[in-house]
Amino acid sequence: MGEAMATTSASALRRDPTRRILGGVCAGIAERVDVDPLVIRVAFIAAAMAGGLGFVVYAVAWILMPAGAGEAAPRGGGPGSVEVALGVALLALSLLLAFRSLGIWFSDAIVWPLVLVAAGGALLWRQSTRQERAPRKERAATVSRTGLGVALVIAAGLVFLQATSSLTAARDVVLAVLVVVIVLGVIFAPWILRLVRSLSAERAERIRSQERAEMAAHLHDSVLQTLALVQRADDPKQVSALARRQERELRAWLSGRTDKAEGRLASALEDAAAEVEEAHRVEVDVVAVGDRELDERSDALVAAAREAMVNAAKFGGGSAVSVYAETQDGKTHVFVRDRGPGFDPAGVPEDRRGIRESIVGRMERHDGRASVTSSSDGTEVELMLG
């Protein structure tokens, strides 16, 4: 008994919203009799043209046939906009022809503009009710469908004006409006141009005033404060460190990096150099060409470079430390140089792990490479990360 009821329910005639053009009636009937929906749609259109019977039957079927499981399908998953517009146009045409067959007279000046308006309006309405955030690939198609809808509506108006012999009068009105617009444009163009230039000049002056105010505030908060500290400092190394820190900050500000670029290699190297310079009172210059995001491997590179800076500051005889970093094609090289007396890397005791573990070993553990070259003219540490 239950199986029979389930079979009857499954085989009941239902509308198919997933393949609908209007209400899914034709698609539901086609599914029930196992034919192509186009055959059923052509039959309904033919019946509609022959006395309007198809339109009446379709409306009654739409009311009486229950919807299938696809009724709750999300918006945008149904038929395309062009198909909907075509279906509405055909339905409007069949309805008007049915009325004509019943003796309700409509001339071609009414029939074809109404069909075009129905198609264009359906297309525009369909586009307006689709999801607002369409994927980027569908935006061009959306614009083209909207343009097609607008063109159909405009064509409907032109067809109506042409059929009623009013196109000439409409053209005269459009021409008169165009002439008035041109005349007013020529008259008021100098004042409009002067107003636009005045607004542009005012905006530029406001921007310059804001920039001057920002520069004055920055100079007061950084440069002038540093100069005041320099006046009170007695240690030459402290004065040099203050000047170097201010120089680094001013260079970053002039280059547009007013805020530290969080998560970037160049910024991390500058921070490490500033810490070493402040801790050891040694000048550390950083030049970075290119940049990359910080990750586990580049963090290890920064840590190794910092250890090399510390060694150069401690054992470089007080000479300035130069740091050069270059990132290109996914590879990063960092060079740390000093002009100290140098040393023999092979003669470093086993218990001293600064170079062996903090630099060379760290880089090898992160699929990088480190090499140390030292002579009486100074020491250079090269770090490479792919």
pLDDT at 155: 78
pLDDT surpassing 70 at residue 58: yes
| Residue type, position 347, single letter | G
| Residue type, position 144, single letter | S
Range with the poorest average pLDDT among 131-145, 234-248, 293-307: 131-145
pLDDT at 163: 75
Mean pLDDT throughout 188-216?
Answer: 83
Mean pLDDT throughout 34-57?
Answer: 72
Reported as type and span, the H/E element at residue 179 is helix 167-218
pLDDT at 172: 79
pLDDT at 371: 92
Q: What is the mean pLDDT of the chain?
A: 76
Tens of pLDDT, residue by residue over 235-265, are: 777 777 777 777 777 776 776 654 445 678 9
Mean pLDDT throughout 24-44?
Answer: 80
Mean pLDDT throughout 213-236?
Answer: 69
Fill in the DSSP letter of residue 275. H
pLDDT band of residue 86 (cuts 50, 70, 90) is confident
Range with the poorest average pLDDT among 17-31, 132-146, 222-236: 132-146
Mean pLDDT throughout 138-144?
Answer: 61
What residues have CB less than 8 Å from 249, skipping those under 6 apart?
A: 222
What residues have CB less than 8 Å from 367, skipping those under 6 apart?
A: 297, 385, 386
Tally of CA atoms within 13 A in the half-sphere of 372 that contains its CB: 26
Reported as type and span, the H/E element at residue 370 is strand 368-375
**Virtual CA dihedral for 355, 358, 359, 362, nearest 10 degrees?**
140
State percent of the chain over pLDDT 90.
11
| Burial class, 66, CB count within 10 angstroms (exposed 0-12 / middle 13-18 / buried 19+) | exposed
pLDDT surpassing 70 at residue 73: no
| Residue type, position 261, single letter | A
Mean pLDDT throughout 375-383?
Answer: 92
Which two structure tokens, joined as six digits, stand for 366?
A: 């992160």
**What domains are defined for the chain?**
12-173 (no CATH), 263-385 (3.30.565.10)
pLDDT at 5: 41
Residue with tokens 């800076």: 309
Compute φ and ψ for 330, nearest 5 degrees.
80, 0
SS3 state at 337: strand
pLDDT at 257: 57
Closest CA to 356 of 311, 294, 297: 311
pLDDT surpassing 90 at residue 217: no
Residue with tokens 């998560």: 263
Handedness of CA 222, 326, 353, 377 (dihedral sign): negative
